[in-house]
Amino acid sequence: MVNKYVISSGHGKIVRGASGYIDEVDEARRVVNRVDQILREEYDGDGWTFHDNTSRDQSTNLRTITNFHNSKPRNIDISVHFNAGVAKATGVEVLHHGKHGVIAAQLSKAMADALGLPNRGQKVRTDLYVLKNTAKPALLLEVCFVSNKHDADTYKAKFEKLCQAIAKFLADYLGYKKSSTTHVEVASNNTETFYKTGAPLGLYRVKKVCSTYSGVDFTKADKLQTLKVGTAFTVTDIVKFGNKYRFKTKMGEWVSAKRAYLEKV
């Protein structure tokens, strides 16, 4: 059975969080929804999202969120918040209850790298209700400061990169794999990265180590020789094979027509 997550937004629709250049609750919801979507669509992930739309006071809000987390058979709990402070305060931090410093530090660094904002790192907080009362490893993300214009602008500009970084952290932690639909997309995009039929024939030079084969399907048994960087050879033909392209050399061998491997001399 696949490992699962619960990811929720901090505070609630009625019990609001911090507000500044951006609004904490609105943005936390966007991050939660996008990370969940990435884990489902781009990985083989599965889990639950939660946003509190009903609580009218803070203690009900905290209990409602925590009860949702604890009601699911999950392996990790993620709570998304944004920070607030003095105008100069900046950066990313990830809070945990005490035992999860290693993964909190990993995630904080991944988020800070994605945003290009200072990494404030992992912090132990034993006073936070959600961290204290959830039974699984729980991380509380403080994405950046809503009170800092540069943080807010950076977050808006790097939103997708941030969500991808959080999703990748969770995928690694939970053992998810990139889903096959993503592989298909990558493969079809690859046609852009090949010299195609109609590209000039003649002398090409190796930019990245690659191999020659006796057939166009590049089975292991058909492998002939490894071409070192700087080797030049003459291309006499280009053929399409599936959604890939192959060069035929003067020697009668086949080489990938990937632009990353070869340059025209």
CB 33 within 8 A of CB 163: no
Please tell me the distance from the alpha carbon of residue 171 to that of residue 58, in angstroms, as a whole number: 31
Shortest Å distance, C-beta 81 to Zn ion? 3
Report the residue number, 148 or 212, with the smaller CB distance to Zn ion. Answer: 148
Candidate residues 6, 8, 9, 10; the one interacting with Zn ion per rule CB under 5 A? 10
Report the residue number, 112 or 140, with the smaller CB distance to Zn ion. Answer: 140
Residue 29 binding Zn ion, by CB under 5 A: no
Candidate residues 69, 81, 120, 248; the one interacting with Zn ion per rule CB under 5 A? 81
Shortest Å distance, C-beta 100 to Zn ion? 19
Residue 91 binding Zn ion, by CB under 5 A: no
Residue 137 binding Zn ion, by CB under 5 A: no
Report the residue number, 9 or 256, with the smaller CB distance to Zn ion. Answer: 9
Q: How crowded is residue 68: how many other Cβ atoms within 10 Å of its Cβ?
A: 18
Residue 47 binding Zn ion, by CB under 5 A: no
Report the residue number, 145 or 169, with the smaller CB distance to Zn ion. Answer: 145
Residue 17 binding Zn ion, by CB under 5 A: yes
Shortest Å distance, C-beta 61 to Zn ion? 11
Report the residue number, 17 or 45, with the smaller CB distance to Zn ion. Answer: 17
Shortest Å distance, C-beta 25 to Zn ion? 8
Residue nearest to Zn ion (CB): 81
- Of the candidate spans 78-86, 87-95, 104-112, 184-192, the one that interacts with Zn ion by CB under 5 A turns out to be 78-86
CB 8 within 8 A of CB 61: no
Report the residue number, 17 or 47, with the smaller CB distance to Zn ion. Answer: 17
Binding site for Zn ion (CB under 5 A): 10, 17, 81
